[in-house]
Structure 1
Amino acid sequence: MLSGAVVDNSAFQYPFWFSLTWGKISQNFRVPVAIDGKVYCDIYFQVIKSGRVIESRIANPSGIAQFDKACLEAVERSAPFPPLPRDFLDEIIGITITFTN
């Protein structure tokens, strides 16, 4: 489950884009193993104007390798994302999302 997100540019205020993006990622996320207690994993990724992901990595691991891999794969399988909004002037946006079981 996605539990939060932080963008590296506070000018990026496009809830519709986020809704589409989170929907795609949520559809591709499956918790691979039974996990006792709550765990969190942060994934950082960069999206360019076209919606293509040019970087994705585990930014803050949960300590459970299978869970971390599933989080990263959910982002990678979901790409490409919708193009960035035309009125957003930057060519790239960095996003950190938090997954939890």
Structure 2
Amino acid sequence: MTSTYAVTGVLERRQTDREGALLTRCALAAFGLHALLAIAALVLPRLEPEHKPPIEYVAVQIVPAARLGVERPRPSTPPPPAPEPPKAEPKPAPPEIAPPPDTPTLREPAAAKPAPKPGPAPAATKPAPQPAAPAAEPEVQGSERGSTNALALGAAVAGLDNPDFVYGYYVDQMLSMIQRNWVRPMVGSGVEATVHYRIQRDGRIVEVRIATSSGINSFDLAALRAVQSSTPLPPLPRAFREGSLGVNLIFR
């Protein structure tokens, strides 16, 4: 019995020693684990990258300073130059004293000469002969293809639609320009045609037509071409208040 109790006691002590060793190991393991957790809590935040807040970008529009009303620095103007001191006026020269005039010496009057005797009266001059009056100038005539008859100045205007048109110089200019373009066909004498047309304010010729036919087609066409080829004429006189002038012109 005694040996049995002794063996049981030994077994119990061994069991107790084992349990104590196990508890010691568990305590050391728990302590080491807590130490590792503490170290990790201190080290890990440093190892992880810091979370920075995102950067926000704002669109900016550059506006010129002139639109914002910002005054730009003005260039400095140099100070005005100092006025020059007034120059001293030159002193007037002393007036020159003229020497006293010489007293003229009295001369004896010369003996009076006898008056000349009247000579014979000059012969009466004959009046210079007056030049003879120039002969009347012939009517201006054009020549083309041997023709001798053309537009007669002064007598070619059959009539104007406005009796208040009194500007003869303008009529002469008109006839001169049309005459340069008038080519008379080879027809007999005594043939004539009347062309009606209208002159605008700026000198353009419009509404050209045959008012009285000559009966010869080539003659009428030549008269129309003479008027149409003369546009534009000089502008109507400024003193003429109407906007246009109608003309009837005779071609012979």
* TM-score of the aligned structures, taking structure 1 as reference length: 0.94
Aligned partners of 1:69, 1:20: CA distance in 2, in Å? 22
Does 2:168 align with 1:19? no
Matched, 1:8 2:157: no
CA apart distance, 1:54: 1.9
Q: Distance in 1 between matches of 2:151 and 2:188?
A: 18
Q: Which residue in 2 is equivalent to 1:57?
A: 209
Identity of aligned residues (%): 34
1:35 positional shift: 1.4
What is the TM-score normalised by the length of structure 2? 0.38
Equivalent runs, 1:75-94 vs 2, <5 Å? 75-94=227-246
Question: Which consecutive residues of structure 2, in runs of 5 or more, have no partner in the other structure?
Answer: 1-149
The count of corresponding residues between Structure 1 and Structure 2 is: 99
Equivalent position SS for 1:78: coil
Which amino acid counterpart does residue 244 of structure 2 have in structure 1? Answer: I
What displacement does 1:53 show? 1.1
Question: In structure 1, how many angstroms separate the alpha carbons of the residues matched to 2:192 and 2:250?
Answer: 7
Gapped runs of 5+ residues in structure 1?
Answer: none
Higher strand content, 1 or 2: 1
Q: Which runs of 4+ in 1 moved over 6 A?
A: none
Map 1:22-61 onto structure 2 (within 5 A).
22-32=175-185, 34-61=186-213
TM-fit CA distance, 1:36:
2.1
Q: Is the 8 Å Cα contact of residues 45 and 96 (structure 1) preserved in structure 2? A: yes
SS of 2:174's partner is helix
